[in-house]
Amino acid sequence: MNVIAQLQADREKYKTLKSREEKAAFIWDYYKVPIIALMSFLVILLLVIVNNLGRKQTAMYLVMVNSDAAYVECDEEQIQQILADSDYDAGDKQIEISSSYTLGTSGSSSSDAETLQVLTALFSISDMDVYIADQEYFDYFAGNGGYADLSLLMDQDLLDQWEDCLYYTENEDGTTTLSGIILPEDSVFHQAGYYHDTAILGIVARADNLEAAVAFLKSFLRDRN
């Protein structure tokens, strides 16, 4: 039975129920999985919003997935310096770096599901400007246009210098987008200790601090020898 036929059958069965208790039990039995998923997402969304209230001294938000920050001491100042060397006037504001998210490494599917819900919330409410992850979890957010098209934001001469590191993804409508930059293993992110293997950097399509994110990436691209 296809989804539409199943929904129709459920609707007809629901109409036969008399008491309020029977109807509530029916809805819970049949739809508890999506209900729980929706409620979990809303709780995470609320927590993210509350956590961000009053944050004024942040120029942009940078999230790294599966970084080495949990195992080694990383030099955050090297990453802060990228924005400081850019054309963006950040004043006293700095980059807020979140490098503790892990996926596919804990062996816990429930833990991964919770992390993906948090990241989805960050993408949804524009609470992330730059995102770095390994290919699997970079691609996870690409299908519905999660990333800005770098070909529209970056100078062509910079992109030409990074031609071998440009990363394209396909959107749900079949269009191809220049979504990311493959970080070489001698990049500042590797030198600072955050990564030892391949990772991809992208600007979030709904970035709230887009100007800072673009300046940050341009500054990073210019530093290539």
Integer Cα distance of 142 and 207 in angstroms: 14
Instruction: Dump pLDDT digits (tens) for 156-208.
Output: 999 999 999 999 998 777 889 999 999 999 999 999 999 999 999 999 999 99
Question: Do 68 and 194 contact (CB within 8 A), yes or no?
Answer: yes
Q: Are 204 and 137 in contact (CB under 8 A)?
A: no
User: What pLDDT, on a 0 to 100 scale, did the predictor assign at position 82?
Assistant: 96
Average pLDDT value for the chain: 84
Which residue would you say has higher pLDDT here, 36 or 61?
61
Which class in CATH covers the domain with range 58-222? Answer: alpha beta
Asked if pLDDT for residue 1 goes beyond 50, the answer is no
Residue 108 has pLDDT above 90, yes or no: no
125-156 in b/e burial notation, b at 16+ Cβ within 10 A? Answer: eebbbbbbbbeebbbebbeebbbbbbeeebee
Domain layout of the chain by residue ranges: 3-43, 58-222
Distance (Å, whole) CA 208 – CA 204: 9
What does DSSP say about strands 130-133 and 166-170: parallel, antiparallel, or unpaired? unpaired
pLDDT for 123: 85
